[in-house]
């Protein structure tokens, strides 16, 4: 049922009264922060924030994130409706339009990384990413996606459509595989924690040996339906695993995955040359689990150069 408040907001949107809408947003958010705290403010202003981020002129939409309205009035990186407000904004305007307007550094970075995922080349003219994550998609980052699924498809009146990416997507191309006995987990590997940071619904292990040995730690049995695939096919699912929470966007998934790949390559950060070399030599194994929910991810990644393999596995209901 549409409430009176929602009807009033949509009337203001239809009339293009963006300054009034921003004033309402700031007033409601500050009052909610004072009354119940930040989490309540995010919920209470979600729809209005979405409407402004989606449809307001960029010169005004970016002011959602400015603190010039006073304490508690500005959206942060976790403010969201169906997705983070900065991601809604990033889907609506090019970096060329947004770059001169955006202020807060965390928001600027996430918007820039979202534009990169959408396909914009920011490798010339944009400020360097603080961790060195490239501002242009590497070739292996671009090939595994379906059309228009790298970022949520936001709707004008609130909400979003998003692709349900899974690995494996089907059992096509997979066959019966006998996995080795599960033993010999390696503890304390930085890459293990970095991969686990992608999503709270996956388990991650590291072993010394080939990818099937890592898979054996998390697979449902010794005999599975599985097979090898290029890392480029797995990449979109790993990115989207990092964006399953509504307060997180695809940029979070890309940044987290580059950190993990850098750690797998033996670096403290996402070194571009080292990550590209790792991806080029990596062998990836996936398997099917009959108990899977609608969203699932089962992937083992082997680095022949070090003899180490990591398995990432889990299932989650969207």
pLDDT one-digit tens code per residue, 158-201: 999 988 889 999 999 999 999 998 888 999 999 999 999 999 99
CB 112 within 8 A of CB 128: no
Asked if residues 98 and 58 have their Cβ atoms less than 8 Å apart, the reply is yes
pLDDT given for residue 3 in this prediction: 60
Does the structure show a pLDDT above 80 at 4?
Answer: no
pLDDT at 14: 83
36-45, 66-75, 144-153, 271-280: range with lowest mean pLDDT: 144-153
Per-chain mean pLDDT for the chain = 94
Distance set, CA 281 to CA 18, 301, 305 (Å)? 51, 10, 8
Residue 116 sits at the vertex; the CA angle it makes with 132 and 148, to the nearest 5 degrees, is 145
Q: Is the pLDDT score of 288 beyond 80?
A: yes
User: How many Cβ atoms are within 10 Å of 282's Cβ, its own excluded?
Assistant: 20
Give CA–CA dist 4/19, Å, rounded: 20
pLDDT in tens, 55-76: 999 999 999 999 999 999 999 9
Q: CA of 1: how far to CAs of 4, 5, 6, 50, in Å?
A: 10, 11, 10, 19
Does residue 2 surpass a pLDDT of 70?
A: no
Is the bond leading into 198 cis (omega within 30 degrees of zero)?
no
Residue 118 binned pLDDT confidence (cut-offs 50, 70, 90) = very high
Q: Rounded mean pLDDT of 43-61? A: 96
pTM of the model: 0.95
Instruction: Give 197-234 pLDDT, tens digit per residue.
Output: 999 999 999 999 999 999 999 999 889 999 999 999 99
Packing angle of the helix pair 250-264, 272-281 (nearest 10 deg): 80
Instruction: Say yes or no to pLDDT of 106 above 50.
Output: yes
Question: Each residue of 234-254: pLDDT tens digit?
Answer: 999 999 999 999 999 999 999
Backbone angles phi, psi at 65, to 5 degrees: -100, 0
Query: Is the pLDDT at 10 greater than 80, yes or no?
Result: no
d(C-alpha 37, C-alpha 175), whole Å: 52
User: Cα 160 to the chain's mean position, in Å?
Assistant: 15
Spatial contact of 231 and 279, defined as CB atoms under 8 Å apart: yes
Instruction: State residue 50 phi and psi, 5-degree precision.
Output: -60, -45
Helix axes 46-55 and 4-14, enclosed angle (nearest 10): 10
């Amino acid at each position: 049922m549409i409430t009176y408040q929602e009807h009033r907001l949509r009337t203001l949107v239809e009339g293009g009264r963006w300054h009034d809408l921003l004033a309402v947003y700031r007033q409601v958010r500050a009052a909610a922060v004072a009354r119940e705290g930040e989490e309540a403010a995010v919920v209470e202003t979600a729809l209005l924030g979405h409407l402004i981020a989606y449809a307001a002129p960029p010169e005004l939409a970016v002011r959602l994130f400015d603190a010039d309205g006073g304490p508690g009035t500005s959206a942060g990186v976790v403010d969201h409706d169906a997705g983070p407000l900065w991601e809604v904004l990033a889907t609506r305007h090019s970096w060329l339009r947004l770059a001169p307007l955006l202020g807060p550094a965390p928001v600027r970075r996430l918007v820039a990384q979202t534009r990169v995922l959408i396909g914009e080349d920011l490798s010339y003219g944009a400020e360097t990413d603080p961790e060195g994550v490239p501002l242009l998609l590497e070739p292996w980052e671009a090939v595994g996606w379906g059309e228009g699924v790298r970022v949520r498809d936001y709707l004008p009146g609130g909400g979003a459509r998003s692709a349900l990416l899974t690995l494996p997507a089907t059992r096509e191309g997979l066959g019966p595989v006998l996995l080795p006995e599960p033993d010999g987990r390696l503890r304390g590997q930085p890459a293990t924690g970095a991969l686990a940071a992608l999503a709270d619904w996956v388990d991650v292990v590291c072993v010394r040996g080939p990818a099937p040995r890592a898979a054996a730690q998390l697979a449902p049995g010794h005999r599975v339906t599985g097979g090898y695939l290029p890392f480029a096919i797995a990449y979109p699912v790993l990115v989207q695993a990092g964006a399953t929470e509504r307060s997180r966007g695809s940029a979070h998934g890309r940044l987290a995955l580059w950190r993990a790949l850098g750690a797998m390559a033996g670096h403290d950060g996402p070194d571009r040359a080292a990550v590209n070399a790792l991806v080029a030599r990596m062998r990836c194994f996936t398997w099917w689990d009959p108990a899977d929910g609608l969203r699932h991810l089962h992937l083992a990644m082997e680095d022949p150069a070090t003899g180490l393999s990591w398995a990432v596995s889990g299932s989650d209901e969207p």
